[in-house]
Amino acid sequence: SVQSSCVISLPLLSIRHTVYTKYFKNLIMEQLFETSCIGIGFKLRILHLFVGHNGLVAATYLQKGGLQAAVLERRHVLGGAAVSEEIFPGFRFSRCSYLLSLLRPHIYRDLELKKHGLKVYMRDPHAFTPMLEEGVRGAPPRSLTLGSDLATNQMEIGKFSQKDAKAYPEFVAHLERLADAMNPLLDAPPVDIPGFTSGSLRRRVAAAKTLMPIFRCGLKLGKNLPDFYEIVTAPIMKILTQWFDSEPLRATLATDGVIGAMTSPSNPGSGYVLLHHVMGEVEKEKGAWGYVEGGMGGVSQAIASAARSYGVDIFTEKDVSQILVGSDGDAKGVVLKDGTEIHSKVVLSNATPYITFKNLTPQSALSSEFIKAVDQIDYTSPVTKINGEKSLSNMFVNPSSGCIMFLWSCRPMVEMTIPSVLDPTLAPPGCHVVSLFTQFTPYYIEGREWTDQDREAFADTVFDWVEQYAPGFKKSVVGRDILAPPDLERIFGLTGGNIFHGSMSLDQLYLTRPLPSLADYRSPIKGLYLCGSGCHPGGGVMGSPGWNAALTVIADLKRR
């Protein structure tokens, strides 16, 4: 099959004799045979199905570790949900994710992403919450602006509550301490429970090492451990109400507790969702978020450039239809939609666990119990993303380049950003791109599918509300791209439209993400791994699942 269909074939030990297909032409063949730095002694072909940013990270680290990686993406653009697309001529959009913070700093540094073109504009101030009110004693309606300067934040909060203004710096420091303690857990696979409970003494000793991140997290937390437990499990409103009185402040902060989650700030677990959104950093500023120049695809492009510099092969428009499983039950590669077979020893899937195991893996290779468990993974999602192009300049917005949040109970929650205020590469002069991240929208509307009329009607509702805060907004928008949950699923492969590859709910974190039996990136098929956001530590443009999956693969290959 190697010669006839131009596939990459990689019988593990016969690589030296068999393969020189068109895919290999760019590779230095000597490099394929050099002794690997991880002591495996030869280069394996590792395949990634579909490349979101996590697959690119995994590929890069596997390649750096001495393996030979190739990545395959179904779409014409790289990056999955971290992508920039020119939906309307002349306007570039971060079509899904739009803000960077969570990308692990060690990946950022180690892959020299700046050198590979990643440029981030700090979002400061980061939140502008206007009030829909008449204005007190003839004054204009109040608003709350939060940014990096604590003194200014205190002045802003003081408009609503002096007590809250006083408490705010300690709250920020407290949150930073809790978020910082999580770092060791993010940069390593979860504790290897099967390793403890089965296998050789050597395996058990190796598994003991996986406890270290938990110890380090515990040490960092110290006396804050109970607070950590509370915020992870509590409704975020419980925590915010302990700290603050004023509604605009609590509402502004509470949005981070429900982003991407079909939950309310009054539900247990929303505390963890908030923590997940404050544990990042940009330019060494903790908790900060930024806009990537050229849109979020700039992150994926920078990682791809780093990957290529190490020799990773990247292919777009390669639609994988099936994972090949041999008669011995091991993964053997993949089959593309056009019938091309690509053989490899190891396969990593960046697709959701549902797509990986329900759509791509032969069901006969999986137990019925396992398939049932995969069916139980929660992918519900409230998100509809609206990307719009504005013909006029920022006629209505506060000069803030941050988020403009509109919050209404029983009405859409809207996080609106205008990244072109900072990044001139996104739109022609005098024009802007606007991104509206909205909640809560269902996957089905009263049991039926979304129609184009529904999309437009929902966008109209959102725009009507924005108009109330920002008169003139509707008239200025000349085009819009509306992505309801089924659209996010169809276009980007996000099962259920879930932006995190599965809910970040308490039952789907750490040792149980996405399932107890899949928490270590390994699958029931030997040689098939998960490397996407469906795995620990979950969603967002983080790179951690890719990094952790690469560590796991390398550890397994060393062991073999």
Ligand X SMILES: Cc1cc2nc3c(=O)[nH]c(=O)nc-3n(C[C@H](O)[C@H](O)[C@H](O)COP(=O)(O)OP(=O)(O)OC[C@H]3O[C@@H](n4cnc5c(N)ncnc54)[C@H](O)[C@@H]3O)c2cc1C
CA atoms within 13 A on the CB side of 294: 11
Question: Which CB atom, from 43 or from 277, has the smaller least distance to ligand X?
Answer: 277
Tell me the C-alpha distance between 10 and 12, whole Å: 6
Contact (Cβ atoms closer than 8 angstroms) between residue 508 and residue 502 = yes
Q: How far is the CB of 297 from ligand X (least distance, A)?
A: 11
546-557: string of b/e by CB count within 10 Å (b at 16+)? bbbbbbbbbebb
Q: How far is the CB of 393 from ligand X (least distance, A)?
A: 24
Q: How far is the CB of 149 from ligand X (least distance, A)?
A: 23
Q: How far is the CB of 316 from ligand X (least distance, A)?
A: 9
Q: How far is the CB of 79 from ligand X (least distance, A)?
A: 6
DSSP secondary structure letters along 382-414: --EEEEEEESS-SSSS-S--SEEEE--TTS-EE
Report which of 292, 239, 234 is spatially closest to residue 263, judged by C-alpha positions: 234
Q: How far is the CB of 353 from ligand X (least distance, A)?
A: 11
Q: How far is the CB of 259 from ligand X (least distance, A)?
A: 8
Contact (Cβ atoms closer than 8 angstroms) between residue 407 and residue 437 = no
Residue with tokens 């107890």: 516
Residue with tokens 């974190």: 509
Tell me the C-alpha distance between 390 and 223, whole Å: 50
Question: Which CB atom, from 359 or from 380, has the smaller least distance to ligand X?
Answer: 359
Tell me the C-alpha distance between 141 and 131, whole Å: 6
DSSP secondary structure letters along 88-121: ETTEEEE-S---B--S-HHHHHHTTTTTTT--EE
In 351-496, where do the E strands start and end? 384-390, 403-406, 413-417, 432-439, 477-483
Question: Which CB atom, from 66 or from 80, has the smaller least distance to ligand X?
Answer: 80
Residue with tokens 């789907």: 508
Tell me the C-alpha distance between 384 and 443, whole Å: 10
Question: Which CB atom, from 145 or from 352, has the smaller least distance to ligand X?
Answer: 352
Site for ligand X, rule CB under 6 A: 50-55, 73-75, 80-82, 96-99, 102, 319-320, 350-351, 355, 359, 383, 385, 437, 488, 492-494, 499-501, 532-533, 539-541, 545
Question: Which CB atom, from 45 or from 75, has the smaller least distance to ligand X?
Answer: 75
Question: Which CB atom, from 494 or from 515, has the smaller least distance to ligand X?
Answer: 494
Tell me the C-alpha distance between 382 and 529, whole Å: 28
Question: Which CB atom, from 167 or from 261, has the smaller least distance to ligand X?
Answer: 261
Q: How far is CA 527 from CA 14, 328, 535, in A?
A: 18, 11, 17
Omega before 419 within 30 of 0, i.e. cis = no
Question: Which CB atom, from 116 or from 216, has the smaller least distance to ligand X?
Answer: 116
For 324, the 3-state DSSP assignment is: strand
Contact (Cβ atoms closer than 8 angstroms) between residue 303 and residue 109 = no
Q: How far is the CB of 395 from ligand X (least distance, A)?
A: 25
The total number of residues written for the chain in this structure: 560
Question: Which CB atom, from 404 or from 541, has the smaller least distance to ligand X?
Answer: 541
Q: How far is the CB of 81 from ligand X (least distance, A)?
A: 3
Q: How far is the CB of 362 from ligand X (least distance, A)?
A: 15
Q: How far is CA 451 from CA 59, 377, 445, 448, 486, in A?
A: 39, 26, 9, 9, 11
Question: Which CB atom, from 43 or from 75, has the smaller least distance to ligand X?
Answer: 75
Q: How far is the CB of 545 from ligand X (least distance, A)?
A: 6
Question: Which CB atom, from 50 or from 228, has the smaller least distance to ligand X?
Answer: 50
Contact (Cβ atoms closer than 8 angstroms) between residue 554 and residue 62 = yes
Question: Which CB atom, from 500 or from 529, has the smaller least distance to ligand X?
Answer: 500
CA atoms within 13 A on the CB side of 24: 21
Q: How far is the CB of 539 from ligand X (least distance, A)?
A: 3
